[in-house]
Amino acid sequence: MNLTLFQIPGECYEKQEFCFNTALAGVLALGASLAATNAWAVPDQPTAWEKCSGIAKAGMNDCGALDGKHACAGQSTVDNAANEWIYVPAGTCTKITGGKVAATKPAKK
Considering Cα of 78, then 84, then 86, then 91, what sign does the dihedral take? positive
Relative to beta strand 48-53, strand 100-106 is antiparallel
| 8 A C-beta contact, residue 65 and residue 38 | no
- Compute the distance between CA of residue 109 and CA of residue 91 in angstroms, rounded to an integer: 19
What pTM was estimated for this model as a whole?
A: 0.57
Residues with Cβ within 8 Å of 61's Cβ and at least 6 positions away in sequence, in order, are: 73, 74, 75, 76, 84, 85, 86
- Residue by residue, pLDDT tens for the chain (109 residues) are 555 555 555 555 556 666 677 777 777 776 666 665 555 666 678 889 999 999 999 999 998 999 999 999 999 999 999 999 999 999 999 999 999 999 888 877 6
